[in-house]
Amino acid sequence: MSEIHRHTQTHTKHTHTENFQGRHYECSSDSADLQSYFSRCNSIRVDSDYWVLYEKPNYMGYQYVLTRGEYPDYQRWMGFNDSIRSCRTYPYYRGGSYRMRVYERPDFGGQMMEFMDDCPSVYDRFRYRDIHSCNVMDGYWTMYEQPNYRGRQYFMRPGEYRRFSDWGASSSTIGSFRRVIDLLEYCTSSIT
């Protein structure tokens, strides 16, 4: 993505080349199609809020969840390539508590476990590698295809997900998940 800034409260800056060099584009709201602004994205600066980047237009393809900070190359946001074609912004979650229930079968069937904290290995905690449905009650979460927060990412906001396709996955395999927390804000509030 190229740098994005529109000098509003919420924005991200997408740069055509690594380390914030070259052409840039500033974005302050959701965009279903970024193709006309740049052909590839190699660095991003997020100034506020959470951003979910998508590999394809219309919020399709690989998802990348970014919090406030600088990402000088696409590997820093765990990108598979430099293709970013759409993005969405979400305000910071300030509720404090995080709760999510995961289920071994579609439509909230089978064994259920409730989580309020990060989970680096779904198998170690749940004894299954597959999550077929989930209910996010509080907070934003990111699910990962592999353990230890690796692989494809899926942004989860509060709501019911009756099937894995509801969160954009092509299979039910989930290796880990964690809460989406703005680390800068978290560190500041922890010190005070």
Exposure letters 155-182 (e unless 16+ CB within 10 A, then b): bbbeeebeebeebbbeebbbbbbbbbbb
The C-alpha angle 32, 77, 130, rounded to 5 degrees, equals: 85
Is beta strand 43-46 parallel, antiparallel or unpaired with respect to 24-27? unpaired
Q: What is the model's pLDDT at position 98?
A: 95
**Residue 131 corresponds to which tokens in the numbers above?**
């999550």
Instruction: Give the single-character DSSP code of 18.
Output: G
Fold of 12-90: Gamma-B Crystallin; domain 1 (2.60.20)
**Residue 190 corresponds to which tokens in the numbers above?**
């922890």
Same fold for the pair 12-90 and 99-183: yes
Contacts of 85 (CB under 8 A, 6+ apart): 33, 34, 35, 54, 55, 56, 57, 61
Collapsing DSSP to helix, strand or coil, 2 comes out as: strand
Question: Is the pLDDT at 44 greater than 50, yes or no?
Answer: yes
Q: State in words which class domain 99-183 has.
A: mainly beta
CA torsion through residues 56, 22, 50, 114, sign: positive
Greater model confidence, 182 or 115: 115
pTM above threshold 0.85: no
Q: Sheet harboring 109-115: ordered strands across?
A: 109-115, 99-105, 133-138, 159-161
**Residue 47 corresponds to which tokens in the numbers above?**
């100034």
What are the sequence ranges of the domains in the chain? 12-90, 99-183
pLDDT in tens, 113-153: 999 999 999 999 988 889 999 999 999 999 999 999 999 99
DSSP per-residue letters across 64-76: EEE-SEEESSGGG
Out of 19-28, 52-61, 155-164, least confident range: 19-28
**What are the Cα distances from residue 55, in Å, to 8, 94, 113?**
25, 28, 31
